[in-house]
Chain A
Amino acid sequence: MSQTLEIGWPIIVLIVGAAVFRVPPGPETPAATFCASPFSETAQRIEECLTHDPSNVGLLTALAVTYEKTGRTDAAEAAYRRAIAVDPRDGELHRRLATLFSGRGDAVGGHENAAIANRWQPGRGR
């Protein structure tokens, strides 16, 4: 083997090895979107965000609020319940759900959730 080859191949291996050694960037999900401020977004957009981050209470609350604004109280209730399933200690969710029930004339549901909300937001219910 010639001198050039003897010195050449280790250097080539070093270059290739260094390239292989470096971690390649992870694959990016094309539809992945950051949904930090979805409060003025549409329900469809928030649902899209939720497919990437299904346990995001902020998103679920925003979805419920959006449904409430458009009069879809059943969908709003379902969204609140999904959020409460993730975070049962969220007093604000229970307070909002209580208001929703009261608005629909469901005094029992309203009272039940207001009591839970008051446990997490002491003083607020009085």
Chain B
Amino acid sequence: MTRGPLLLSPGAVAVARALNALFFLSVAVFATLSYSPFAYEQFLKPNVVPELTDFKLLSPWLYWLTTFVTLLTLLPHLRAPRRRPLAVLYTVVSVAVGLWIAYRPPLVVMGNSSSALVIAILSPVWVVALAIHDLTSAPSPTVRSASVGRLFRAAALGAVVSWCSYAALLPVRLHQTAGIELSTRQVLASAGASLMTALFVFTLIAVALLAALRLARFAGGSGAAEYRVLLGLFGASVALVVYRLVCASIAFTGWAAVVESAVLGAMCAAVWAGIGRLRAGQAERAAVDAIELMAAPIAGLGQGFSAAVILSATLLLGSVLTASTAQVDWNFVLQKLGVLVVWLIAFAAAAALPTQPPALKERSLVVAVAAVVGAFAGLTFATRSRTTAAVLDQFAALDPPYRLVRDIRSAPPGETAAFYAFLRAHTLLAPAQLRPRPFAFARGMSPRSGRRPHIFLFVVDSLRRDYLGVYNPRVRFTPAIDDLARDSFVFDRAFTHYSGTGLSIPSLWAGGMVAHAVKQPDFAGRNALLELLEANGYVRVMDMDNIVSELMPDDPHRVQLDRGKTAMQFDICTTVGELEKTVSAARTPVFFYALPQNVHISIVLRQKPTPDPVYAGFFAPVAASVRRVDGCIGEFVAYLKRTKLYDDSIVILTADHGDSLGEGGRWGHPFFIVPEVMRIPLIVHLPSWMRDGVVADLSAVSFLTDVTPSLYALFGAQPDYRGPLFGRSLFVARDADFMLPRREAYLVGSSYAAVYGILRDNGTRLYTLDPVNNGESLFDINADGLSRPLAVTAAVAAANRSAIRGQLGMLSSEYGYTVDR
């Protein structure tokens, strides 16, 4: 086989193609995020992941670099008459596009528009064109029919290697993951179940490939036809993974998601084929097995040493990928994609081993496959008890491949699928769908007569209650907040209705749940807190994050702090420095609002805290950030006391939501409706002349949405009770019925997806239903904030789904939208 007219070696060209594909794949992913209103508003606009912004700004340069490397590999083709037209066309178009990109960088200017979708779909086409060029120009190997022995040997070896890849560091993950209570015996038994599961999955994949190969062969196809079938299955699998796993996790749905997934699937198949062809060009072989050729992009052809090295490296790859992605993951997407990559590499490297596999008799193969399927069926039967299922559920937090398979296995029954569709229909609504009803938060509201205290509302993004000493006696790094709490109302059972900032902040201002939409149309008419502030002549001193900028674009009575900073740059210490100057100069009462990001997971992971024994038992980066927040709040309180304003101020310290910090392998707060995300701190300091006239039930369930009605009540305008979607005052008359909030069921939800839940029994029972991950959970939350999972019986599911349905119905009536289901 000849080398062909290439300037570089085929291996180097293959690397260049892989880099080319990686760049255009990144462009497609960025453009998709930009097209999705949810991802654009929640990630890109507030610059949650600065690397995405860097990529956007550097994209023209990266394009030219990629194009330069690619054109270098095409130079020899420009001299070959037969191949010249395609190479010239590619070169001319590439340079033209590059000039246009330099003049008007598309990733920078597209924003959240339909042009983002066009770019997302077109950029993979670019890679496909290059792959077609490679396929037509590189020498074509002779492909023989796939060896069944090679296929099943690859499946068995791939299963074992990929299992080892994750099992290797299982003891480390067990030590690092919070909330896992498994004995050594349970871990070993679960790891055995994981190995059996891996063998079953790989066997089933091999059987599916065998069926497809034989269908191709019996249809009269050659080895080349088998290879094309394998490529088609590969592309279809990638498209399915992109659609079901990636698109679903960023709320990108509908025909656009289908097209984008299909294009990316086609791109991967084309690149795979192109690189395979280039690497096959290196081998001096008469004929190549279809499976072997399929594996060529990973380990080449007939390169036993290379395949063995890759297999050995794969033994650790899974654990490395998990360690590097777990904390920055979104809904386990990166970890699940990592598992699929490890599976692919292990399978391909095993298939690339050049030694001839033992000849398999068909009967022996059938018996072996039946044995694996039978063993897996036995495992499923043996682990169906609730106790065993609970053990395996905990183990899934340690073993990403087991988690992936578990999530795929639990396909929803018809009734649940219909309910999922109902939930999705109420989620991420378009502004045009909403017609909010006219709304009066409190009847006959008039300005407060007499003294009007300053109001300071600190909403610390992602602050967990159990990282404050006042809620957790083990905390020794928040002395200032603990001091503040000593003469404040500390609400012990406070929750947010939403597990993300996107909706929890609007709900705070509205004093109740809001329509599930990325943008809230006509919010001015429902902005109860602003109405109260305007009626009482407060000057608003605020940080303008991307959310409040949308909610309150124009406000002549506003003093903006932290000008020139993006939302993710808000640091409470610099904010209160500016605030103190503004308060000192103010002639009217001040209302302050800020959403400092000190504790947000994307911020703390970039910091390296100085080790300190007081952080023992806590996630040190968060503990150190909370300590900084504590210090600056302490300084501000000291300022208030120094200026004699403390007893003339309402100080509220709370959070928009909590955060998962490794509990059950979870990090952050994407779709998780779990106790550590839904519980928040809520500390309210009142001036003594206000405090003496009110009564509160600190142990009753309360919400972030209660803040606004509480301020109304403190200003003498008690809002009417409007049902569980709305907040109620935390402070009530002495003869009020304290039992009402305790008895009610409250809707909770994710800000980002159709994940909903019900909180009931005074905040001690949390039921959640998660269509994204197809899961249903029930938590028992005890007084100390600890939680344990409870079994979800059919009766529990029915009652809570009914409550969700009812309250979403109330919400749709409140916001004037209808859904088909």
Chain A positions within 8 Å of B, measured between CB atoms, are 1, 3, 6-7, 9-11, 13-14, 16-18, 20-29, 32-34, 36, 39, 52-53, 55-58, 86-92, 120-124
Contacts and interface: CB of A to CB of B under 8 A. Distances in A.
B439 interface: no
B89 interface: no
B109 interface: no
Given A92-B699, A92-B700, A87 B783 contact: yes
A16 B517 CA distance: 43
Contact of A121 (B211, B697, B799): B697
A100 to B, nearest CB: 16
Nearest to A90: B699
Interface stretch (B183-191, B314-322, B383-391): B383-391
A58 B211 contact: no
B552 interface: no
A20 B376 contact: yes
Contact of B765 (A23, A56, A123): A56
Interface stretch (B233-241, B245-253, B734-742): B734-742
Contacts of B799: 34, 36
Given A26-B389, A87-B764, A92-B739, A6 B698 contact: no
A3 B218 contact: yes
A92 B214 CA distance: 71
Given A87-B783, A120-B492, A33 B795 contact: yes
A25 B413 contact: yes
Interface residues of B, number: 59
B782 A86 contact: yes
Given A3-B218, A7-B215, A14 B204 contact: yes
B700 to A, nearest CB: 7
A26 to B, nearest CB: 6
Interface of B: 200, 203-204, 207-208, 210-211, 214-215, 218, 362, 366, 369-370, 373, 376-377, 380, 384-386, 389, 406, 409-411, 413, 489, 492, 692, 694-700, 734, 738-739, 742-743, 745, 760-762, 764-765, 780, 782-783, 790-791, 793-796, 798-799
Nearest to A88: B783
Contact of A10 (B214, B696, B699, B761): B214
Given A26-B386, A92-B699, A124-B734, A32 B782 contact: no
B793 A23 contact: no
B207 A17 contact: yes
A56 B761 contact: yes
Contact of A21 (B204, B366, B697, B780): B204
6 contacts: A33-B795, A34-B799, A57-B761, A57-B762, A89-B783, A91-B697
B380 A10 contact: no
A58 B493 CA distance: 15
Nearest to B362: A1
A17 to B, nearest CB: 5
B390 to A, nearest CB: 10
Given A56-B761, A58-B742, A86-B782, A7 B218 contact: yes
Contacts of B380: 20, 23-24
